Structure 1
Amino acid sequence: MKRKVFGLILLGLGAFMLVVGVMTTVWAPGQLKKLPLDVNTTTHLDGVVKKLDPATGELVENPVKVQSISKVDSDASDDSTAVWVSTACVVIDIDDAPDCVDGDDPRLVSATTDVFATDRVTAEAVPDFKGLPDDAVPHEGLVNKWPFDTQKKDYTYWDGTVGEALPAIYDREESFQGVDCYVYKIAIADAPIEIAEGINGTYDQQIEIWVEPITGAIQQQKQDQQRYLDDGTPVLDLKVGFTEEQQKTFADDAKTNLSGLRLLLFWVPLIGFIVGGLCVVAAILILLSARRGGGGGSAPAKHELAGAAN
């Protein structure tokens, strides 16, 4: 009787472990490889900027820092689409400048706000999403991350300055801060833009982006940007990339996230199937043994009773 109870318990445990294995294989990937709705990320970049001094007509070089804040508006988002509010502030880093300054401060290079929507799995922009405000600029392509399970292929990447998605060309695979990454390059040349209100010009940009391919998280982004008046006069030359501290933070986050995904999507189902299978097999053997043992013990008892009657 005890063996039968133990076998049933073992059978239940095995069935449970097999269900865990199936769930983490079939259901979990779709839930884990999906952008959460509580994202609120601040990214810091630094570098140098050469900005036109109207008084002298010369470019003046200074250190520069950039603060970019990207936050998901969970109320405006839904199960498949995330609405983002993204702000970026570029400040000349002199006189103990804060991360952002007001419009009257001469250290301000630019300050922008962008609202857009992306698919929570593919990271592609969703230009007509119902949760966007009426004045939101329709976006195309990737905007602020790559898709889960990024491929070694070309994508299109949104550039807000020119207002269109441009080819992001796969270049190479490379380890960055201990994280395996795919590297993509974006090149923009002589793109017509508005330098300032009512002033037209052109725009060049070289961008290099390191992407952790399983999560699609950007690990490093370098930008080399120039802006010119229509007559060819340079007005801005900006070279920035993630700060060293930011690179380390993103690398640590990537390693943590990858370890969690590996545990839940590989080890948990593997253990579930192996342990579950072993438990079921052992339970069946125990139950069969208990059944044979119980059947063998009943005949002698009947024989003894029959002998007593004689």
Structure 2
Amino acid sequence: MRKGFGIGLSVLGGFLVTLAILAQFWAPGRLMKTPLDTDSLTLLDGTAELSDGTGGTTSFPVKAFSVTRADSERSDSDVIVFQNSSCLVKDEGEIDECVSADDPQERLVSASTDNFATNRRTAMAVDDPKYLPPSAEPKQGLVNKWPFEAEKKTYEYWDGYAGQPVDATYDRTESVDGLETYVYKIEVSDAPIELSDGIQGTYSVDREIWIDPTTGAIINQSEHQERVDDEGNPFLILDYGFTDDQVAGNADDAKSNAGALDLVTKTVPLVGWIVGIPALLIGIALQLMRRRTA
């Protein structure tokens, strides 16, 4: 009886210790990667002031839609390729999607498409023609998420309007729907841009981004943005951010994903070490005692 019990404990202990080693040292590198089936719709709302062409502005509520899909055929085990399309529209007529440039109500304010690639673990931009079409804009820094296990520090974050990476500085920790997030602040002042064909101006923004530190997912975002011409006249002023429903959905997804990661990378190793090592030692001791008795 003692023989079978000792062998059983040794086998169980060895299995749990091996599982703990795999979960702690092997699993994170396999699990902490941006999924290749990423397909997301991000919704924002707020207000805008648009130049009326006479030096004044017209104010109206706006909505923004941003669709980001992974291109699994171009992606691989290390790099994920994204296709993004976004638009800003006047919030009129219960609009729930982008409209075309020939919309009879003239609700389209702006629209754009983009292709980019990022490292699946660090989330840093990858500028490599192997993954991107020739028309893709070169990028640096973070683009659409933070790295797994984000830190309280300053990251480089790509700003498409400024056309360069800017500092995203850790500002504070804040709870969003019961999820602990890190809040990063971005400030850009008077970056030269082309407002429209042949019209030059500057771009400034004050932006805050709420990040789930475990997965690096963006939970919330808000900003005040100003685009003005060379004479200081407003071209477009925006105050907008993620909708309440978007924030709630992002927080729920992050809690679920972070919980699954914590289970594998933290709980399983802890149980493996706490239960596995004693079981292994007791099992070996019982077998040695049996041999001495025999």
Please tell me the TM-score bracket, short chain as reference: over 0.9
Aligned to 1:71: 69
Please give the per-residue CA displacement for 1:181-234, whole angstroms capped at 9, x wherever unaligned.
221111122221111122222212111111122221111111211112222221
Please give the per-residue CA displacement for 1:230-250, whole angstroms capped at 9, x wherever unaligned.
222212111111100111111
In structure 2, distance between residues paired with 1:79 and 1:234: 45
Deviation at 1:67, TM superposition (A): 1.0
Q: Does the CA contact (< 8 Å) of 1:45 and 1:242 recur in 2? A: yes
In structure 1, distance between residues paired with 2:15 and 2:272: 8
1:1-310 map, 5 Å: 2-54=1-53, 58-105=56-103, 106-293=106-293, 295=294
Q: Does the CA contact (< 8 Å) of 1:122 and 1:148 recur in 2? A: yes
SS of the aligned residue for 2:42 comes to strand
In structure 1, distance between residues paired with 2:203 and 2:40: 28
Deviation at 1:110, TM superposition (A): 1.0
**What amino acid does structure 1 have at the position aligned with 2:118?**
T
TM-score, scaled to structure 1: 0.89
Q: Does the CA contact (< 8 Å) of 1:117 and 1:129 recur in 2? A: no
In structure 1, distance between residues paired with 2:137 and 2:257: 32
In structure 2, distance between residues paired with 1:4 and 1:98: 70
**What amino acid does structure 2 have at the position aligned with 1:144?**
N
Larger Rg: 1
Deviation at 1:291, TM superposition (A): 3.0
Q: Does the CA contact (< 8 Å) of 1:183 and 1:210 recur in 2? A: yes
In structure 1, distance between residues paired with 2:211 and 2:101: 34
SS of the aligned residue for 1:271 comes to helix
Higher RCO (CA < 8 A, seq sep 6+) = 2
In structure 1, distance between residues paired with 2:288 and 2:169: 62
Deviation at 1:116, TM superposition (A): 0.7
Which residues of structure 2 form unaligned runs of 5+? none
SS of the aligned residue for 1:165 comes to strand
Which residues of structure 1 form unaligned runs of 5+? 296-310
**What amino acid does structure 2 have at the position aligned with 1:201?**
G
In structure 1, distance between residues paired with 2:278 and 2:154: 45
Please give the per-residue CA displacement for 1:128-154, whole angstroms capped at 9, x wherever unaligned.
251111211100111111111212211
Please give the per-residue CA displacement for 1:47-77, whole angstroms capped at 9, x wherever unaligned.
11112234x6531211111111112211111
User: CA RMSD of the aligned region, Å?
Assistant: 1.6
